[in-house]
């Protein structure tokens, strides 16, 4: 119940849970006390299909006590385990802790397998077939949701096979990116650039940097206004990996290509985030995964997945 802002729902759930159990106990007690008058042949007088008669036999004692035991078990369970709102139970069990235990157990079992790779350089790991098979599994389970199963990315998600890196493509940088995650933000720059016409001019100048189709007159007018962007992308537009600013001269467009896409980027900015994986993966797993990612664009002649 921690998703709610006050304790009302916690108390509500606890009250409904206990109320339901106590209601079952009360119903059992009341029905056990009620005596149904019987006829001389020990039936209740109810007849179905002409000859099916309801007998007036009491509920077997063992059956009644079984109901009582289930109620007692339910109460004891709620004392030991979470079930009463935000009450955590005496055993402090949680599904998150159970999952963490299972993950730790699996990691310990796999530790000997990874031990051989942790002492190897990433370049050597990338050349090891077994390590790359493991790296591929790690990639498909943790990275493919955004970067695609072939690692070629999509709009808003970088292609990891082309050698174009926002924050650097060395093994150490890739390990850093996987471990800590990345937050890339371009603020809205329309106010700094000038009028809407100036924004279009800058967009065409940006297109001209990579030799993409553009309006040459607008590009010439936008060159002087590009100074507002040079702090991150550089005077030559080649970007800055220290801050994750893309290279605007290579014709690789992460968030869309063309005048309209660039105008939208200048006007509205963009926020992108890659989550940190340090809490999900061990250092050894990150080492193998980073080697796999590095190998996608650096292993000469290696087969791409």
| Percent share of the chain, pLDDT over 90 | 70
The DSSP output letter for 67 is H
Would the pLDDT of 36 be above 70?
Answer: no
């702090």: which residue's tokens?
Answer: 231
Q: How confident is the model over 108-138, as pLDDT tens digits?
A: 999 998 999 999 999 999 999 999 999 999 9
What ranges do the domains of the chain cover? 8-80, 100-181+275-298, 185-274
Would the pLDDT of 303 be above 80?
Answer: no
Instruction: Report yes or no on whether pTM surpasses 0.85.
Output: no
Q: How confident is the model over 59-77, as pLDDT tens digits?
A: 788 888 899 999 999 999 9
Q: What average pLDDT does this structure show over 79-85?
A: 90
Q: Could you tell me if 161 and 169 are in contact, meaning their C-beta atoms sit under 8 angstroms apart?
A: no
182-186 and 52-55 strand pairing: unpaired
The residues, any chain, with a CB within 8 Å of residue 46's CB and separated by 6 or more, are 53, 54
**CATH topology agreement for domains 100-181+275-298 and 185-274:** yes
Please count the CA atoms within 13 angstroms of the CA of 132 that sit on its side-chain side: 16
What CATH number has the domain spanning 100-181+275-298?
1.10.760.10
pLDDT at residue 176, as a whole number: 96
Return the sign of the alpha-carbon dihedral for residues 177, 178, 183, 186. Answer: positive
User: In terms of DSSP H, where are the helices of the chain?
Assistant: 8-33, 61-80, 95-118, 122-125, 129-142, 144-147, 171-180, 190-193, 196-209, 216-222, 227-233, 259-268, 283-298
Q: Which CATH class is domain 185-274?
A: mainly alpha
Confidence of residue 257 (pLDDT cuts 50, 70, 90): confident
Least-confidence region, from 1-15, 72-86, 123-137: 1-15
């Amino acid at each position: 119940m921690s998703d709610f802002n006050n304790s009302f729902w916690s108390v509500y759930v606890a009250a409904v849970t206990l109320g339901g159990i106590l209601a079952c106990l009360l119903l059992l007690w009341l029905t056990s006390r009620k005596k149904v008058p019987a006829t001389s042949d020990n039936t209740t007088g109810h007849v179905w299909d002409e000859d099916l008669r309801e007998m007036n036999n009491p509920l077997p004692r063992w059956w009644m006590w079984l109901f009582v035991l289930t109620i007692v078990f339910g109460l004891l369970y709620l004392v030991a385990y979470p079930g009463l709102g935000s009450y955590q139970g005496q055993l402090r069990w949680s599904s998150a802790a159970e999952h963490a235990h299972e993950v730790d157990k699996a990691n310990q079992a796999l530790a000997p397998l990874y031990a051989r790779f942790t002492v190897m350089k990433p370049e050597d790991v990338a050349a090891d077939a077994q390590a790359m098979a493991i790296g591929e599994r790690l990639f498909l389970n943790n990275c493919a949701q955004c970067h695609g199963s072939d690692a070629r990315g999509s709009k808003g998600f970088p292609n990891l096979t082309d050698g174009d890196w926002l924050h650097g493509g060395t093994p150490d940088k890739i390990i850093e990116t996987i471990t800590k995650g990345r937050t890339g933000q371009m603020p809205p720059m329309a106010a700094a650039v000038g009028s809407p016409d100036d924004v279009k001019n800058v967009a065409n100048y940006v297109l001209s940097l990579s030799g993409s189709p553009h309006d040459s007159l607008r590009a010439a007018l936008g060159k002087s206004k590009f100074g507002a962007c040079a702090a991150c992308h550089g005077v030559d537009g080649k970007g800055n990996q220290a801050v994750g600013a893309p290279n605007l001269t290579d014709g690789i467009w992460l968030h869309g290509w063309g005048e309209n896409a660039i105008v939208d980027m200048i006007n509205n900015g963009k926020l992108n985030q890659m989550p940190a994986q340090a809490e999900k993966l061990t250092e050894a797993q990150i080492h193998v995964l980073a080697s796999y990612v590095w190998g996608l664009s650096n292993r000469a002649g290696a087969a791409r997945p």
